[in-house]
Structure 1
Amino acid sequence: MARQRSFRPARRLIAVAGLVLATTASAQPAASAAGASPAYVFDPTHTAVHWEVVHMGTSTIRGRFDKIAGSVQFDAKAHLLDVGITVQTASVNSGVPLLDTILRGKELLDPTGSPEAYYTARQVRWEGDLPREVHGELTLRGTSEPLTLTATRWKCGLSLVLRHEVCGGDFEGELVRSRFGITHSLPFVDDRVKLLIEVEAIRQ
């Protein structure tokens, strides 16, 4: 489901741009010194992990994680994409406070015992210069499982606001929560959870 974006005054865009560049500037020397492929750092104002799960076979519960960080090395000509994502599990947000409390419980996301979830990937199936499938590993609640993300969109270009190249896109995937020890409410809440990820990353 596409996210609607409202237009904001130029001053706010410039302020956001300054914040993003200030928080990512420290990564520039490391990327340059390594002489590696171009490095991009996620823009937290345009990056989100959404999830969907079927409830009682009748309706779909939807939510997101509000706190995400990550970076990617990307080189279309060399067919290189190396990505790392960190999600703060306590930042889960369904829009329903009672449900969020349940999701943060020990039987579900357990942010006290497992405050972060990680996704790393280096294997990619390419179509021309575009990454089509990203094959990686998700670590959640101390368990690591393979997770494939399919790109529905990917594009790079110069941001007129940030004055930097920005790459971004939309990705979809699916996890089986019981493989991570999350069996609460089965089978009334589906075992399969759909992931919808939107990413924008700024070249350093």
Structure 2
Amino acid sequence: MKKILALLIAAGVSLSAAAAPENFSSDANHTFARFEYSHFGYSTQQSRFNNTSAKIVLDRAGKSGSVEAVIDAKSVDTGSKLFDGHIQGEDFLDTAKYPTITYKSTKFNFNGDTLASIDGNLTIKGVTKPVTLTVTHLQCMDHPMMKKLACGANATATIKRTEFNAGKYAPYVGDDVTLTFAVEAIKD
């Protein structure tokens, strides 16, 4: 009986350890936020923020987690220094007053064992709105160079920029902005 009890206790300890949440920090060289929008219907403009960081907690066995991401709005990169300044101005991101954009999750949603979406709150220019990110890819495995567990993910959402007080020239310059996030994070 003592052996069975000892085995059950050992199994319970190992099961709870496997289901423990894991903490990750984003890799600055492989984590970027991108955005795209219609420019007068002529083309779809694509730009990114060069400085994005995230703290992630992931419990794959427990099907839960959290993410807090911070985007340096002053790191916007449109491919044109002149246009970078325009996007940072009061009519759009107003980075002098609001230097960061944040996303804080409220719930991870799984479809079976697959992370399908993340509900959370996006804050741009001091305006916070609920935004659901659709997770299009998630891979966790040992990083071949770091020799630690790493996870990478891609997620996307579409927002209306007018809802964040950044609507100058709408609707001619598209109100719908597609956000795309590429994140690679290493276990702490």
Instruction: Tell me what 1:95 maps to.
Output: 79
Identify which of 130, 139, 145 aligns with 1:161: 145
Identify which of 52, 61, 79 aligns with 1:77: 61
Structure 1 residue 118 and structure 2 residue 110: aligned?
Answer: no
Distance 1:69 1:41 in 2: 8
Stretches of structure 2 that go unaligned for 5 or more consecutive residues are 1-19
Cα deviation, 1:93-144, whole Å, max 9, x if unaligned, reads 0101221111010111111100111100031220122210111110110110
Identify which of 90, 94, 108 aligns with 1:106: 90
Structure 1 residue 62 and structure 2 residue 46: aligned?
Answer: yes
**What is the aligned-residue identity percentage?**
28
Structure 1 residue 190 and structure 2 residue 158: aligned?
Answer: no
Stretches of structure 1 that go unaligned for 5 or more consecutive residues are 1-35
Instruction: Tell me what 1:10 maps to.
Output: none
Q: Which of structure 1's runs of 4+ aligned residues deviate more than 4 A?
A: none
2:133 maps to a residue whose letter is L
Note the C-alpha offset of 1:183: 1.6
Greater per-residue strand proportion: 2
- Where do 1:24-63 residues align within 5 Å? 37-63=21-47
TM-score with structure 1 setting the length: 0.81
2:122 maps to a residue whose letter is L
2:116 maps to a residue whose letter is R
Bigger radius of gyration: 2
1:87 maps to a residue whose letter is I
Note the C-alpha offset of 1:58: 2.1
- Where do 1:167-186 residues align within 5 Å? 167-186=151-170
2:162 maps to a residue whose letter is S
1:193 maps to a residue whose letter is V
Structure 1 residue 149 and structure 2 residue 149: aligned?
Answer: no
Distance 1:127 1:135 in 2: 14
Instruction: Tell me what 2:185 maps to.
Output: 201
TM-score with structure 2 setting the length: 0.87
Contact 2:106 2:121 in 1 (8 A): no
1:171 maps to a residue whose letter is A
Distance 2:166 2:179 in 1: 16
